[in-house]
Structure 1
Amino acid sequence: MRRWLDKSLQRKLSLLLLVAVVLPLLATGVVSYRIASSLTEEKEKQSGTNTLRQMADRLEFMIRDAESMSVFIIGQKDIQLYLDNERADISLYTLNIGFLTNLVFSKPYISNITILSAHDYPTLSNTTILRSGLAQQLEQNEEKMKSGAKWWTSLYENQTSADGMKRVVSLVRPIRSTNQFRNVGVLSISLDENEMRGVLKNAGWEKQGYVLLVDGNDTILSGDSPEWLGRPLRERLPNLGDWNGGEGTFTYSEEGWGEDTVLYRSIAGTGWKLVGVIPTRTYRAQNEYVLAVTAVAIGIALLVSVIFVLLFIRRVTRPLRGLAGTLKDMNPDEPIPSFPVKSADEVGLLLHSFNKLSERIWRLKEQVQMNEAKKKEADIMALQAQINPHFLYNTLSSIHWMALMNKDGQIAEMVGALSDFLRFSLNKGEEFCAVQQEVAHAQNYAKIMSIRFQDKFESQFYIDSRLHDKPMLKLLLQPLIENSIMHGLQKKKGRGQLYVHGELHGDSMTFVVEDTGIGMEALKLDEVRRNLNAASGTSSPEPGRSGYGLRNVHQRLQLHYGSGTGLRIESEPGVGTRITFTIPMVEELP
């Protein structure tokens, strides 16, 4: 990608302008989509709140109607006479049954009205009750009965001859005598759960969501499914936290189900609550249209922007591309052509300056050619004075054979090692070689130096055979061996030892040059280490001085293998010096 950009100014400018245009457009699209999504969510919540309010209004109408009906029934004269009479009156019983039947007939949400007498007179009801859970409700709420206040039961089953089995919730209140102000009975007005469920289902709630009606104990009174009736709300919504206030909204999340929006509203006078649940996927479905419109708008804007940018950049860079093409195919021996200047902008000024520069270059070229002709003769003379490396190798080879013929083995050995040493050092200018070649070069140098300094040291090489064919930077070991001989072993009294190790450690190679010379004091060792790690901008020691070879090797290691490599030096006075470096192992020459 970088090479592709580097080869064309037009590509660079096009990419720059496209990024400058595309990023703001994409950012605008993202912000617009998020705002639209937020508005959609708020609209959905507001719609849900309004729907809950409508449901609450209808349920509150039923509740107020039941409460008003209870007051009307308690104040009815015939009801009072039946309950306050000293004995059961069959005529009043029949009259009141008809009254209750007519009262319930026009109200489908009233399942039944039941009046229990304190004197165990026959129960008054608009229909024959076969089985009812009212008695159990009265036993469980004995304290509420004693308080004399009205209250609402939890959900229970009521079986009648007319409607069969139904689930109901009842308004219960005691009946007092209007004459003696004593309890003469109990009134129960039951609301049909099917009618309440119809209010919840017909309100237009989200199809993927649901609405529940719960009592003050968070028990489900009505909802979308009969199987949840009478069960705690927290079984349906396990992670539901505390909620306060008469109306509100919060986010509910459950592992494996995603997030839902929960809305709730209290029913006045009962302690009940309406709980509505809207899945977040409802918002996503509505946002897909917004996303599609936004994507199309941004796509069209991007396409127009791209076409405009490319045409503009092409027009601007056309003169520069023509200039670059001409220079690329130009013959150096021919004059540089001039370009017509058609604009006064920066590109026009550039072409004008190029025309002037080309004329100047042509004049300088002619002058350089004349100077080169004058130097040619001097160059030929200088070349004649150079030494041909092959002549040097042949001469050393002749000396080697003469020494062998004269049976002077030491001279033959030294000349042979020197010949191999020089041949590897030149090595056609190549920087890398096999480990085996580098070790052989170091052995030749050690052999020459051992003959030169007789009885001063003995050298031993221990190289892992697996390293022989691996490539490495050449001329690394010889300067380290030279340093050990010249600054360690030569200055020692008596004979010393020189060890060279090559070891394989995983994906790296470690080389060690160790001697038993005089070693270094701590201050001297610190100075050598500082010289190795000196900044690249500082002056280096001059060739031939102490530290030049080590620093040269250290810098070459870091240059070719990275700053993590380099020489590590350890030394102890009177014991010797150990120099180590580690380089990565590669399979082929760079």
Structure 2
Amino acid sequence: MRKVWKKLRKALNPYSVRGTMILSFMLLISIIVLLVSLVSYYYTMNDIESISINYTVRLLGEINASIDSYIDNMKSMAKVVVENKDVRDVMAFYNRHHDKRLSYIEEKELERLRANAAAHMNIVANTRSDITNIAVISKYKDVVLSDVEKEVNENSEFNVTDWYLKPMSYKDEIVVSPSHVQNLVSGEYKWVISISKSVLDPETGEVTGVMVIDLNYRSIEAICENAQLGKNGYIYLIDRHKNIIYHPQQQLLYSGIKSELVEEILKMRDTYLRDDVNNRIYTRNYSELTGWSAVGVVNVDELIKDKSSIIDFYFRLAGISILFAMTFAVLISTTITNPIKMLENTMHEVEVGNFDVRSEIELNNEIGHLSKTFNVMISRIKDLMEKTVRDEEEKRRSEIRALQAQINPHFLYNTLDTIIWMSAGGKNDEVVEVTSALARLFRTSISKGENLVTLLNEVENIKSYLTIQKMRYEDKLSWRVDVPPELLGLMTPKLILQPIVENAVYHGIKMSQAGGEIAISARTAGDRLTITIADSGVGMTAEQLEQLFVPRPDTDRGIGVINVNNRIRLCFGEEYGLHYFSAPGEGTRVEIWLPVIEGGDEDDV
């Protein structure tokens, strides 16, 4: 027993990460309460949802009963109209005298019958505000309107509608049409529901025409809107033929902006259908009298909102459990994460380059041991980095000095040759001028030992060089320098122009029979200085351009160009250096990309 207790105390040691994690997991027991609350909530929600669905079904039944009563009244009115003697007589008159020329007496008789029939229909129409029009139409398309001041729309195609065709075939049936736009009356295009019935000849019983009553949505709309199904819930009516009889957003449906589940509703066997895509519940109640189905649409979120008072207890219990869980979690996690956070902050300092920082965590656990190991590691890294920086700096300086040294002997040999043949030719003045230019050139190249000089220094240097070359090649070579005075104070690496210009002379101008010109210019764009050396020599092929920066010790070009490019990149980085543009017979343009460095930054690089 003592051994077990000892092991338990060791496992629950609050000074170890392991013990802290065990205590944290023990707090998860509080989640059990939350799970029980959620399960209870789930079953309660299902029960309340079933209650709400049953309530909606009963409500739809009451709506159907009200609509049945309303339609039954309208059918009674339809019978009153079609059984009126004047209505029957006027339809019989039209059938007996179809395609016959009327006498004066017959015209007067027809006028009297139309007036009597219209007066009767107008009385019926005025009994209800939801009747927009009553009309009788003979089977030969003769129309009598209830309102004598209105005219028949000559372009109306009522003869192809169900409300006209069905009564013509089924004389004992009262037809109730789906909602549609009625255009029987000229200038009127109203959304209506039409109730129609055949008109029979009182003597022969033959169908002589059709009576139609057009109803607006006021009564049906009032019945459906009085039923509250939440803020966004609504009710619509469909018949067994998938026609929507009434919908609160009828125009959106017919314009295609909105759609409804019709086939799914008619096929449903249960009392409700859940639409998980739109988060809705559909319920349906069918009327035997009208053949219509009243469909209720309820938003599930609103349903849950209405149930909130019933499940308030479960949310309170869950809230209290979460509150306790959060309190314990904060306390425990703070104890665990504070030392780790301190160590993390120290690591961030090292990440940005501060190797003098040290972790000050002094704990007798794994984090404390990690902190001590981290401090030792940082000290060693700092020593290694300082040694690496010193070695790399010395290596870089040595490389720059070696690259720069490779340039000077190459030009000296060529210039001495020039002085020799000029002296042999007795050109003493020219010898003096060339010797002076050479002296200025080497004085600039070796003075002070700086690696950065002003652009003015480089321009004067290249002018001395081109003066020497002009003496050698005479009329075959011309040159010009176009550098804005405000740029002459900027700093450049020493001796970067002379190797490029030398290449232009020996591999561009010299190789051209007609000679050529070398133009030197400079410009700045943002934080970049671009120096351009362009010659009108023989140019280079694409293959020569590709091989330009490939070291080739057996050629002159392999020395100057590569060394200048390497020196620039060693000083400033890979985004700077030389860029060549050339084509055979079109000369060569070299752009030297450098950072803009003001004249005050002349320190050794």
TM-score relative to the length of structure 2: 0.46
Q: Greater relative contact order: 1 or 2 (C-alpha under 8 angstroms, separation 6 or more)?
A: 2
TM-score relative to the length of structure 1: 0.47
